[in-house]
């Protein structure tokens, strides 16, 4: 899957990942390859994602996450 995490000022991360765990308003959820199209509001917490090589964690203070055709867009 491809991911792009953007804030008002810049692109925070862009690349290929295997999975992502995000803080939705009703709790954390995970997105894996071939997930159905999906949009969620994010609350304060941590975005945790991993690629084949790395695991990364970003502290966020809310945002929006969209999944469509193995592309994830996170707007913070």
- Give the pLDDT score at 4: 98
Tell me the CATH number for domain 2-75.
2.60.15.10
Q: Give the mean pLDDT of 31-48.
A: 97
Q: Give the mean pLDDT of 20-43.
A: 97
Burial of 8 (0-12, 13-18, 19+ CB in 10 A): exposed
Instruction: Please give the model's pTM, rounded to 2 decimal places.
Output: 0.93
- Give the pLDDT score at 10: 96
Task: Identify whether the C-beta of residue 19 lies closer than 8 Å to the C-beta of residue 32.
Answer: yes
- The residue ranges of every structural domain in the chain are 2-75
Band (11; pLDDT cuts 50, 70, 90)? very high
Band (43; pLDDT cuts 50, 70, 90)? very high
């Amino acid at each position: 899957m491809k991911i792009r995490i953007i804030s008002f000022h810049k692109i925070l991360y862009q690349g290929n990942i295997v999975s992502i765990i995000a803080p939705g308003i009703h709790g954390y959820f995970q997105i894996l390859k071939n997930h159905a199209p999906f949009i969620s509001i994010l609350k304060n917490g941590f975005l945790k994602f991993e690629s084949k090589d790395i695991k990364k964690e970003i502290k966020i203070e809310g945002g929006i996450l969209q999944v469509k055709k193995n592309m994830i867009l996170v707007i913070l």
